[in-house]
Amino acid sequence: QVQLVESGGGKVQSGGSLRLSCTASRSIFSISTLAWYRQAPGKGRELVATISSGGSTNYAESVKGRFTISRDHAKNTMYLQMNSLKPEDTAEYSCNAKGVRVVNVEGAKVDFEYWGQGTQVIVSS
């Protein structure tokens, strides 16, 4: 089992910045699609940003130009740099790693998906 541990959440004023980190207990990021999700109070979970194993990134329209997803394979860590924060960015943010790995010499593969515990981001106006 792989644990994803997040850090970096907190309270910030509108227009401020935060950087979230998500560190994996094992080296899986090179074979994973990584993502950040968020869930605001009373709302459903929203996909914020993804980065593929090849490095391609995608963002929700609401965060384009303000948020940047990145990863550091050597540190088994992914990041979400959040700039120009708005009150509507207030939510619990969770990291996700999903992929396929080979489990034996015959090449059998299994899917995997892991979640972080979530970190709270509060943006005050």
Q: Is the model's pLDDT at 102 over the cut of 90?
A: no
Instruction: Answer whether 31's CB lies under 8 Å from 97's CB.
Output: no
pLDDT tens profile 56-79: 999 999 999 999 999 998 999 999
- Give pLDDT, residue 31: 83
What is the DSSP track for 80-111?
A: EEE-S--GGG-EEEEEEEEEEEE-STT--EEE
Given pLDDT bands bounded at 50, 70 and 90, which one contains residue 29? confident
Given pLDDT bands bounded at 50, 70 and 90, which one contains residue 30? confident
